[in-house]
Structure 1
Amino acid sequence: MKHILKYLFVYVLFLFVSCNDSDTKENAYTSNFSTKSARTWIGPEFWSNPLQDWQVTDGNLECLVSKPLRNTHILTYKLDTIHSSFRGRRLFYARTALGQRYAKDKNEKLNLAFIGVGLRGTNHLSNALQRKDVEITAICDIDPNRIDIALKKISDAGFKKPVVYGKNEYDYRNLLNTKDVDAVIISTPWLWHTRMAIDAMKAGKYAGLEVSAANTMEECWDLVNTHEQTGTHLMILENVNYRRDILAVLNMVKQNVFGELVHFRCGYQHDLREVKFNDGQKPYGGGVEYGENAISEAKWRTQHSVMRNGDVYPTHGVRPMAVMCDVNRGNRFTSISSNATKAIGLHNYIVKHGGKDHPNANVKFKQGDVITSTIETANGETIIVTHDCNLPRPYSLGFRVQGANGLWEKDGDRIYIEGVSNPHRWDSSKEWLEKYDHPLWQKYGEYAAGSGHGGMDFFVLNAFIESAKQNIAPPLDAYDAAAWSAITPLSEISIENNGEPQDFPDFTRGLWIKRKPYNWIKSDY
């Protein structure tokens, strides 16, 4: 029997190497399976074993073993060793650098932790407390007032008191080292995002990361490399992708209403002057302080406007458009060209509300008031992205989706489809959006309404938790986080060089050609 097991192990290892023989040396550790190759890899007798449920998700081979094991062993990422178990199951699994990857049984709760319970983190916490499939096992924040607010919410919801961390800025690492945490949501100032996400992945914790995910090109690559080296998943928590109108338009795109896609417009056009300045007492407005004299976002966010001239917050606009044109899954960003206007908005606000003699009136803001970037894709689409946050204006993300058959524009809530609309006249988008309302909103819309940001916060958290429970690749993964976040440093370089186009790195290392688009038209998450 020992000889049989030995030869069987060698045979499986040979098949695995053969499946990946065409990979580059750099990516030889990454498993990319189709359903057909997966059946070949494990053998038809194992594929059809009633005690095991094999599936292929985003190129990853997964096996859900029936009770009593109750664990999903995912064959993917860096394979240091291959083991076999014959406890009546004939199960093969991979061991990553951090050990086995497991999924929760349907009846088990996800042990969820929060790093950062400021305004954004507390919103995620409040939504998590509405669920019956999670336990809040740990929270971390260096502000004791925010800890007290979070603990009260947890207690009022009838949950057990979590372990509290926050003695210093690096106490979150002690949280990540605990066994009672399966997944973590990171909602901290931008400069902490990447390092915390990397530490979470290295600790084997399924990571949910608020936007933006990275500040520099090096950080973008660090996210991708850590994900690939550890096999731990990262989801960027971009909520706008779940906005009701965006998902309806995505449904229209998938049903070819617009025809072949050609052009997109989007951005973050939001008067943030009262976010970037406050009086040190309340989070929004009332004064012109920032940095150490302010609280909440003004304490850290405004400094980016002082020191950086680029699109520092691109994901709200770009992500929905990237999904519609399948970026990283059959398409990719190839280049970006950016330009910035002069910077007068924040200075004028300080003078108007604090006086010309206020010390902050002497601050020189580097960030242009309006920054415009044009992104080109491998499939020939263009995406115009606008960052406009320092001048008085109503809120708008400026969405436009245009194809061979017509276009939709959010501003004006209008749509035109050739052959259906009256020639050269806009239709109201209302009836179209109702007709193509997404299954998720049809199912959860009423429940989601109170979750924040018009309901989309429910959907992004739901997608994160459901993915983390199964320990599968999330809808918005590490490659997405890197590609969207790279807009920031690339726009800075382009602006410094008078709008000279900058090439986008291929964070998938060529796999965008083979990766299939994510199935967004479903009703679970």
Structure 2
Amino acid sequence: MQRRDFLFSSLAAAGAAAALNPARAAGRERVRIALIGTGMRGQVLLQELVRRDDVEVAALCDIDPFMLNRALGQVAKAGKPKPRTVGEDGDAQAWRKLLDASKIDGVIIATPWELHAQMAIAAMEAKVTVGCEVVAGVTLQDHWDVLNTQLKTGTPYMLLENVCYRRDVMAVLQMVRAGLFGELVHMQGGYQHDLRAVKFNAGVPGKAYGGGVEFGPKGWSEARWRTEHSVRRNGELYPSHGIGPCAMYANIHRGNRFTHINAFATKARGLHGYVEAQGGKSHPNAAVKFALGDVVTTTLACENGETIILQHDTSLPRPYSLGFRVQGTKGLWMDVNKSLHVEGISPPHQWEPFQPYQDKFEHPLWKKYAATAASAGHGGMDFFVIHSFIEALKASAPMPIDIFDAVAWSAITPLSEQSIASGFKTLEFPDFTGGLWKTRKPIFAFDDRY
């Protein structure tokens, strides 16, 4: 066997062995789930819930009757019993009526960001397991409050970060754990996604993307709430897609941690230019001043000597990319060019196609569930994130993306805002684990169930 093939096969086998963890607690066979927020994201998650035989969608909540009715249609189409509904009367506090542990086992929160912390806190206090869409809180205090509530109540909490389950991302996790890239040195990721037609629309129910330049009360779907964050905030507003995989590669909170953070922001031009181009210079929103820099670059330092760069880029024309780069002492992978280089295996100073490596290091979860995930949202990622949450809940097992991950990844936002506002100052990163990171072991290895 040639040296290249020998190394390739040996490392792939090591990666597969590292991912398996068959010790799981026996638990319940079926769980009752409530969903708060039946908007565009909520409906994607609901689709994954209703196609599972081990889930009963027990309740739905939304204050938008249009979206709530759409969600009920999804349940009916799947041939499942009609769930209880609340919120159709416009009561903004209706969600509290669902948080009864005698009626539901878990709740999925898919609402605007500013509601996540209070909803998760109330659910944990009611002993209802939480699966929260990304962004655990808005302020730094939100994150401490969510963390302290989880530690006090012991109620499981999972951040539903789907990119950690992306097919290539999980294959690279196998490669990292097999030592293919050697000792990790540097990582990059981000959220690089033209959201101009998400942040503005015509305010017409059912037409979420583009068609106008309205936002806030005159907008609809995400334009109703998300754009306001771009008006008043300047920072890394959506960090978890980029930091989640990087944190798992670096074993953050499991022998490593973030120690410092700083952030820089460019000038803000993209959203203003979009409003003028689509709505005209006389449109009232052409006078809005947007605080969010078009490109925000955040740097994190880690206890074990790695650095991580995140970029938030949602206001300018560009194709979608998360811009991953994983670099170690023996080589690196970059997702944009779908290639890697490994010293001693790759031809000197040349890139190799990533696909053969992905095939060799395919994660056991993808091997087992690729066909099932094929119809799921975001290239299958949404199947896996819901699958992990439901399986961990059923087994009373630790959540694979737990409370420490959730608050640290999400707290990058207020910390980046603070850094930018203070003249791009480097800040110490809070240790949300209180020192537990030194002794905790990696659990994001996944077995072939979840």
The residue identity in structure 2 corresponding to 1:414 is S
Output aligned runs, 1:117-136, within 5 Å: 117-136=38-57
Aligned position for 1:436: 361
8 Å contact from structure 1 (residues 372, 386) kept in 2? yes
CA distance in 2, matches of 1:231, 1:492: 30
Q: Considering only aligned residues, what root-mean-square deviation do their CA atoms show, in Å?
A: 1.3
The residue identity in structure 2 corresponding to 1:125 is L
Aligned position for 1:37: none
CA distance in 2, matches of 1:446, 1:156: 21
CA distance in 1, matches of 2:168, 2:104: 35
Describe the SS at the equivalent of 1:114.
strand
The residue identity in structure 2 corresponding to 1:117 is T
- 1:140 aligned to which of 58, 61, 74: 61
8 Å contact from structure 1 (residues 233, 472) kept in 2? no
Describe the SS at the equivalent of 1:515.
coil
- 2:219 aligned to which of 270, 280, 294: 294
Aligned position for 1:309: 234
Describe the SS at the equivalent of 1:360.
helix
Describe the SS at the equivalent of 2:44.
helix
Aligned position for 1:350: 275
Aligned position for 1:472: 397
CA distance in 1, matches of 2:307, 2:421: 22
8 Å contact from structure 2 (residues 159, 406) kept in 1? yes
Aligned position for 2:318: 393
1:514 aligns with 2:435: no
CA distance in 2, matches of 1:470, 1:506: 29
1:250 aligns with 2:173: yes
1:339 aligns with 2:264: yes
Describe the SS at the equivalent of 1:486.
helix
1:320 aligns with 2:245: yes
- 1:277 aligned to which of 191, 197, 200: 200
CA distance in 1, matches of 2:252, 2:70: 39
Report how far residue 212 of structure 1 moved.
1.2
For residues 193-212 of structure 1, the C-alpha deviation after alignment (integer angstroms, 9 at most, x for no partner) is: 01001111001001000011
Aligned position for 1:43: none
CA distance in 2, matches of 1:380, 1:420: 26
Describe the SS at the equivalent of 1:200.
helix
* Higher alpha-carbon Rg: 1
CA pair 342-519 structure 1, distance change in 2 beyond 3 A: closer
1:458 aligns with 2:377: no
Q: Higher relative contact order by CA 8 Å / sep ≥ 6: 1 or 2?
A: 2
CA distance in 1, matches of 2:306, 2:284: 46
CA distance in 2, matches of 1:446, 1:56: 25
1:204 aligns with 2:158: no
Describe the SS at the equivalent of 2:332.
strand
In structure 1, list runs of 5 or more residues that go unmatched. Answer: 1-54, 65-103
Report how far residue 335 of structure 1 moved.
0.7
8 Å contact from structure 2 (residues 31, 105) kept in 1? yes
Report how far residue 471 of structure 1 moved.
2.3
- 1:162 aligned to which of 67, 76, 83: 83
8 Å contact from structure 1 (residues 372, 387) kept in 2? yes
The residue identity in structure 2 corresponding to 1:515 is R
Report how far residue 122 of structure 1 moved.
0.9
Describe the SS at the equivalent of 2:430.
coil
Aligned position for 2:136: 213
1:411 aligns with 2:332: no
CA distance in 2, matches of 1:307, 1:114: 29
1:498 aligns with 2:419: no
Identity across matched positions, percent: 52
Report how far residue 140 of structure 1 moved.
0.5
In structure 2, list runs of 5 or more residues that go unmatched. Answer: 1-21
CA distance in 2, matches of 1:247, 1:105: 28
Describe the SS at the equivalent of 1:366.
coil
CA distance in 2, matches of 1:152, 1:488: 36
CA distance in 1, matches of 2:316, 2:233: 17
Describe the SS at the equivalent of 1:475.
coil
Describe the SS at the equivalent of 1:466.
helix
Describe the SS at the equivalent of 1:136.
strand
CA distance in 2, matches of 1:178, 1:376: 40
8 Å contact from structure 2 (residues 191, 242) kept in 1? yes
8 Å contact from structure 2 (residues 109, 131) kept in 1? yes
Number of matched pairs = 425
8 Å contact from structure 1 (residues 251, 521) kept in 2? no
- 2:413 aligned to which of 475, 482, 488: 488
Aligned position for 2:152: 229
Describe the SS at the equivalent of 2:256.
coil
8 Å contact from structure 2 (residues 248, 444) kept in 1? no
CA pair 439-429 structure 1, distance change in 2 beyond 3 A: same
Describe the SS at the equivalent of 2:170.
helix
CA distance in 1, matches of 2:73, 2:152: 38
For residues 391-418 of structure 1, the C-alpha deviation after alignment (integer angstroms, 9 at most, x for no partner) is: 0001000000000000000111110001
8 Å contact from structure 2 (residues 101, 127) kept in 1? no
The residue identity in structure 1 corresponding to 2:115 is W
CA distance in 1, matches of 2:171, 2:248: 13
8 Å contact from structure 1 (residues 241, 319) kept in 2? yes
For residues 251-295 of structure 1, the C-alpha deviation after alignment (integer angstroms, 9 at most, x for no partner) is: 000100000000001100000000000011110001100001110
The residue identity in structure 2 corresponding to 1:156 is K
- 1:265 aligned to which of 188, 195, 199: 188
Aligned position for 2:37: 116
Report how far residue 472 of structure 1 moved.
2.4
Describe the SS at the equivalent of 2:146.
helix
- TM-score with structure 2 length normalisation? 0.93
Aligned position for 1:153: 74
Describe the SS at the equivalent of 2:108.
strand
CA distance in 1, matches of 2:421, 2:108: 35
